[in-house]
Amino acid sequence: MTRRRRIRRLVTDDAVYEWCFAHRHDRVRGYDGCRSTVTLWRPGSRARLRFVFRPGPDRLIAECSFDQGAAVRMPDRAYLNLYEPGSVRALLDEHLTHEPFPDSGTTEVDAWPLFDAVTPAPVA
């Protein structure tokens, strides 16, 4: 049985993007663990922008404890659902304030700094 990724469409003021969410266990590429990714591209282009979420200290991604597509910052439990277009749009908008969309190839970005920017920590 072949799993097909659901391709979604995101329209901004300036461009149209297609995107998909994936979660994988990636021992083959030298990372012993899992990662969640959101990959965006413009229709007709081979350029890809990939937001990568890997678990780490106080950083959780969907496995068994949270909803599929969840990215969670502990201990404040800030949460994004990576299946939601609003979450993807917020990450894309934040990325584009600092870097342009790639012209070619695949650009992988550690998405946790973007997560922190769009879900500010509560003020103590």
pLDDT in tens, 39-82: 999 999 999 999 999 988 899 887 656 677 889 998 898 999 99
Amino acid at 124: A
What domain range is 75 assigned to?
8-118
When divided into structural domains, the chain yields a total of: 1
Rounded CA separation 20/5 (Å): 7
Rounded CA separation 114/13 (Å): 20
The answer as to whether 124 is a domain residue is no
The pTM for the full model equals 0.87
The answer as to whether 91 is a domain residue is yes
